[in-house]
Structures are given as structure tokens and as C-alpha cells.
Structure 1
Amino acid sequence: MALMFQATASIKKAVSIINEIDPPKFPLLLSRILQKLHLKDDSSFTEDEEEKLQSTFKLPASDLQLLIEALEFFLQQAAYHTAKPAVLTQQLQQLEIEEEKVSVIVESWTNSGRDVVQKLREITMAPKQLTDVNWRLNLQMAQDNKTKMKMPNAQFELGIIHQDTQEKEKVRMEFTHDELFAFYNQLEKIQKQLDGLS
């Protein structure tokens, strides 16, 4: 497995803070971070909670922020790599985190990791998602100035849902044969690129 963590200056400082934390309070901190890890716009703690944590851990605000961000980073990387407990243990030990803290992090990950990964998979980057596609073919046989013509077209109705509001919307499109063929070719390119990523 690829190296999940680089021992940068800020990681080293965070490790020294982690090693100083009172062991009985550490699992509670991790548990809260794991509960909120999938919420991209919410921080793990409110301002009031951070002030209480500062006094509980006897840390200045900047050190507490570094501690929280480092733990979030470790857990996000574990989720991204769907890290096995043994691999996570080894990579945290390489950062020189105390054995007891490594055990707590790995145990928390083992207990909650599957749920975290599942919640992260459900998150979408786009605020709107396609829910259904309806289509029909039409053949236009005449126009005001033309009596004999055959002009096929395809009509699509896309059902879209807004992730934030759960509001549904319908988008209607109409394609001629040439337009539909060009659109199909674009979809083929996208599909090849997606296949190349997996």
C-alpha cells in the first residue's frame, strides 16, 4: 500500500501534541471526529466545544486546531485507502506516535471505519443528481412550407434532484439525428476517460 502520511513539520508537531494528550480523553476526541468526518462543511467541534477542549487538554487554540486537523487527516487517509488495521498501525508507528495512541486510533478506525467509508461514498460533489431519464422518438412529416419531409428527432426528459433541498426538477431536451450522434460521441469519450481512471 502507498504511504498514507508524510512526516512534514506540521505532522511532526501534531504527533508531539498527540503523544502529550491524556490517554483516557483521547478516545472521546477520536469518536467525535469520526462521527463528523463525512460532513464536509461542518467542523468536528463548535467554538464553545473547542474552548472546553483547550482547557481540558491545556492546549492553545492553534495547537488544538492542529491536533484536530491531523486526526481528521489520518482518518480521511485511512478512509481513502480503506486501510486495514495492520497497515494503519504500521504507518502511524512510522510517524512515532506512542503505541497506546496508535492502538486507540486503530481501534476507533476498526469500529467505525466501515460506516465512515460508506457515508463518504454517498457524498456527491455536485449539488444536483440525475434520478431518471425518459425519452421518445418523433418523426416530423411536414412543415408550413414543406409537405414531404422526414425529420426524426429524439426528446429526452431528465429527472434531477437537488441534494440540499430534495426538490425535483425536469429538464427537457430535443436532438436531431446529427445532434444526438455528436452527444453520443461525447458520452463515449467520457466513458473512456472514466474507464481509464478505474
Structure 2
Amino acid sequence: MASVIKETQSIKEAVTLINGIDVNKFSRLISRITQKLHLKGEKTFSEEEEQKLLSALTLDKQSLNLVLETSAFILEQKQLQAIHVNPEKAEVFSQTWSTSGPELVDRLKHNIFAPKKLDFVGWQLNLQMAQSSQARLKSPSAVLQLGLHNEDSKAQENVFVEFNHQELLEFYNKLEIVQGQLDSLT
């Protein structure tokens, strides 16, 4: 099975740091990360808690941030052995995932991964019958109005997209493919 996580220099450094942390401390650390993983934009630990972690784990601030970010990333990706996390730490990830995974997945289901959500679609058909160089011209086009809603700022944005007949047909066919894939998942 191919690894989803690419073993970069940063990942290697983080794994070395993770492997150096006491298993009991690491277990509590992972448990806390799991509790806050679904809250995008919110820090897992307060500044005061991070200061305590720095001394408890004997890490500098940059190393602690690397451990926290990588641990969260690994929890999201669920790949461990491919990047050489030692089995003891892999077991901590596994146990945490077993106990907290279903709840975390349920919380993540309610998050919107895209920054904008489609609220409505409007459309208009235009037909150009002539122009100065051609007396008889039939040039149909459709204009779609996509009403996008930004979850963070509650701002609404309208996007207008114009299609000729061929472009609209290609767009429709792609939507049919997407619909078929969604249907096969449910």
C-alpha cells in the first residue's frame, strides 16, 4: 500500500521528536489533540499550557509546534509505519483513534472543508441575433449566477459564469460524472 504521507525532512524531524517523548505523556498529548482536531483555526493548547508542555517534554517552541502539527496531520491521515514511527507510538495513535475516532469523524463531518458553500443557482438565457458585421447571427449563451456563502464571515458573493452551448454541455457532463460518483458513495 502506498503511503499517503510523504516522508519529508520536516516529517522525519517530527517523528524523531515524537519517538523521544515518554509514552504516557505522548498518549495524553494525542488525546488532547484529538479532542481539538475538528476545531479549525483554534489552537490545541493555550500559551500557558504550551509553556508547561515545553518543560514537561523538554522541547523548544519550534520543536513542540512541529510535534503538535505533525501529530494532528498523522491523525488526519492515519499512516504511521510508512514514516517509521516506532511501534510503541504507533500503538498510542491507534488506541487514540480507536477510542476517539468515531466521535472525531462525526464532528469532522459537520465541518465544511471548502471555504465557500453554494446557496443558490440562478440562470438566464441570452440570444444575440445580430451584430454590426453580421446581420443574421444566432449566438445563444447561458449565464449562471452562483450564490456563494462564506461560512467564516457570513458574507455572500455572487459569481456569474457565461457558457456557450458546447461549454454548457461539457459542464453538464462533468456534473453528471460528479453526481454518479456521489451516488456510488451512498
Tell me the TM-score normalized by structure 2: 0.64
Q: In the alignment, which of 95, 102, 109 is matched to residue 90 of structure 2? A: 102
Alignment-derived partner of residue 30 in structure 2: 30
Contact between 1:14 and 1:66, CA under 8 Å: does it hold in 2?
A: yes
Alignment-derived partner of residue 122 in structure 1: 111
Q: CA deviation at 1:46?
A: 2.9
Bigger radius of gyration among the two:
1
Matched, 1:20 2:20: yes
Q: String of CA shifts for 1:145-174, please: whole Å, max 9, x gaps.
A: xxxxxxxxx99886654412556789999x
Q: String of CA shifts for 1:28-64, please: whole Å, max 9, x gaps.
A: 2112212232333333223332212101112111221
Could you say if the C-alpha distance between residues 66 and 120 of structure 1 is closer, same or farther in structure 2, counting changes exceeding 3 Å? farther
Q: Equivalences for 1:1-198 in 2 at 5 Å?
A: 1-78=1-78, 88=79, 91-92=80-81, 95-99=84-88, 101-118=89-106, 119=108, 122-125=111-114, 127-132=115-120, 161-166=149-154, 181=165, 184-185=168-169, 187-188=171-172, 190-191=174-175, 194=178
Contact between 2:3 and 2:82, CA under 8 Å: does it hold in 1?
A: no
Structure 1 Cα separation of the partners of residues 64 and 146 of structure 2: 47
Structure 2 Cα separation of the partners of residues 132 and 25 of structure 1: 49
Structure 2 Cα separation of the partners of residues 51 and 116 of structure 1: 26
Alignment-derived partner of residue 151 in structure 1: none
- May I ask how many residue pairs the two structures share in their alignment? 171
Contact between 2:120 and 2:148, CA under 8 Å: does it hold in 1?
A: yes
Gaps of 5+ in 1: 79-87, 138-153
Q: CA deviation at 1:182?
A: 6.1
Structure 1 Cα separation of the partners of residues 63 and 150 of structure 2: 38
Letter in 1 for 2:175: Q
Q: CA deviation at 1:67?
A: 1.2
Could you say if the C-alpha distance between residues 65 and 124 of structure 1 is closer, same or farther in structure 2, counting changes exceeding 3 Å? closer
Q: CA deviation at 1:184?
A: 3.4
Question: What do you get for the CA RMSD once the two structures are aligned?
Answer: 4.2
Could you say if the C-alpha distance between residues 156 and 69 of structure 1 is closer, same or farther in structure 2, counting changes exceeding 3 Å? closer
Contact between 2:5 and 2:83, CA under 8 Å: does it hold in 1?
A: no
Could you say if the C-alpha distance between residues 136 and 8 of structure 1 is closer, same or farther in structure 2, counting changes exceeding 3 Å? closer
Structure 1 Cα separation of the partners of residues 113 and 5 of structure 2: 25
Identity of aligned residues (%): 36
Structure 1 Cα separation of the partners of residues 62 and 101 of structure 2: 27
Contact between 1:38 and 1:120, CA under 8 Å: does it hold in 2?
A: no
Could you say if the C-alpha distance between residues 195 and 157 of structure 1 is closer, same or farther in structure 2, counting changes exceeding 3 Å? closer
Tell me the TM-score normalized by structure 1: 0.61
